[in-house]
């Protein structure tokens, strides 16, 4: 049992971080009915943008860049944590503007456009930051390890899990306790009714796409010190995100969170006993849950159950 604890902690941390990625994904799918295949690339882009902010990559060799590097690492890190997702959100908004001609047409058009956007973003990352793997620096206060119960744990993983919990709660409060959140939720259930009530549907879609992309950027920066940074990292992210919203139920906030934790725990526990089956476990979980409940854990009743 003692040897299993680190795997449980890893699985829970991974699940919470998966939830951050999946929440942005499920908002975009729910409001816009578009499967954004570029979501993983925006996740990676947010992390690279934060990396350049921390290391003064934008102003390397200039007086400002030299002054910036003299600032404490913690200050640069948390500024990067704010700026990287904002820039990823702006990139997501630009993608939404490109998607507008596909609205009202067959879903395949939007699917192909986001697939092409994912390739473009990935290649842009290769051109700007290179093809090699990069490491995300973290402040000393959240790096290293500590001893608890005779076991060694990564300090950063506990920070990442705590950050993910706070971020998830803040997103929930935004959706449940603000008028803007109410509009977004209404748009996820019936976008045409939102338009009939006088709200600008185009602006709503733009904001949701930017918000979802910013959540992906946040998750990218927080996960980068654990997974490392490489241009094709988005491929490793978008598939689990898609599985999570299917398992949790399309459009369900807490369904996505619960599914993400289940996926993370399944991956962590399987990794303890059968590492070769670690990634396969999430697909087995998908088959088991959707086979028993077609609409997912907390999803609305679908045509598959009629």
Task: Give the integer Cα–Cα distance in Å for 300 and 2.
Answer: 39
Q: Tell me the average pLDDT of the chain.
A: 85
Percent of the chain with pLDDT over 90: 28
Q: Strand pairing partners for 231?
A: none
Q: Strand pairing partners for 148?
A: 151
Residue 305: what pLDDT? 47
Residue 177: what pLDDT? 86
Residue 95: what pLDDT? 94
Percent of the chain with pLDDT over 70: 94
Per residue in 224-270, pLDDT (tens digit) is 998 889 998 888 888 888 899 889 987 788 999 999 999 999 888 88
Give the CA angle between residues 56, 61, 65 to the nearest 5°.
Answer: 35
Query: Given pLDDT bands bounded at 50, 70 and 90, which one contains residue 201?
Result: confident
Burial class (CB in 10 A: 0-12, 13-18, 19+), 35: middle
Chain centroid, CA 273 distance in Å: 27
Position 25 pLDDT exceeds 50: yes
Task: Give the integer Cα–Cα distance in Å for 20 and 47.
Answer: 14
- Residue located via tokens 């009743």: 301
Position 121 pLDDT exceeds 80: yes
Residue 124: what pLDDT? 94
* Ordered structural domains, the chain, with CATH: 2-305 (1.10.3470)
Task: Give the integer Cα–Cα distance in Å for 178 and 176.
Answer: 6
Per residue in 50-86, pLDDT (tens digit) is 998 888 766 767 787 888 888 888 898 889 888 999 9
249 torsion bin: left (phi>0), alpha (psi -120 to 50), beta (else)? left
Position 189 pLDDT exceeds 80: no
- Residues 87, 213 contacting (CB under 8 angstroms): no
Task: Give the integer Cα–Cα distance in Å for 74 and 299.
Answer: 40
SS3 state at 55: coil
């Amino acid at each position: 049992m003692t040897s299993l604890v680190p795997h449980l902690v890893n699985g829970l941390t991974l699940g919470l971080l998966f939830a951050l990625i999946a929440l942005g994904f499920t908002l975009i799918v729910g409001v816009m009915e578009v499967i954004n295949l570029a979501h993983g690339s925006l996740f990676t882009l947010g992390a690279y943008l934060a990396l350049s902010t921390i290391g003064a990559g934008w102003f390397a060799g200039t007086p400002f860049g030299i002054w910036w590097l003299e600032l404490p690492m913690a200050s640069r890190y948390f500024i990067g944590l704010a700026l990287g997702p904002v820039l990823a959100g702006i990139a997501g908004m630009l993608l939404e503007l490109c998607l507008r001609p596909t609205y009202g047409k067959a879903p395949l058009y939007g699917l192909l456009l986001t697939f092409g956007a994912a390739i473009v973003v990935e290649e842009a990352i290769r051109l700007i930051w290179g093809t090699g793997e990069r490491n995300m620096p973290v402040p000393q206060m959240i790096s290293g390890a500590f001893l608890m119960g005779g076991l060694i744990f990564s300090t950063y993983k506990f920070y990442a899990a705590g950050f993910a919990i706070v971020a998830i709660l803040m997103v929930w409060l935004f959706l449940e306790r603000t008028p803007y959140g109410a509009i977004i939720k209404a748009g996820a259930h019936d976008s045409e009714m939102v338009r009939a009530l006088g709200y600008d549907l185009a602006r709503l879609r733009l904001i949701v796409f930017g918000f979802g992309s910013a959540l992906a950027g946040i998750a990218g920066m927080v996960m980068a010190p654990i997974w490392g940074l490489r241009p094709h990292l988005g491929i490793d992210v978008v598939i689990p995100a898609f599985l999570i919203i299917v398992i949790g139920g399309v459009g369900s906030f807490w369904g996505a969170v619960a599914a993400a934790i289940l996926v993370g725990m399944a991956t962590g526990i399987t990794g303890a006993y059968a590492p070769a089956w670690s990634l396969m476990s999430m697909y087995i979980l998908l088959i088991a849950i959707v086979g028993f409940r077609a609409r997912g854990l907390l999803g609305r009743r679908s045509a598959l159950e009629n």
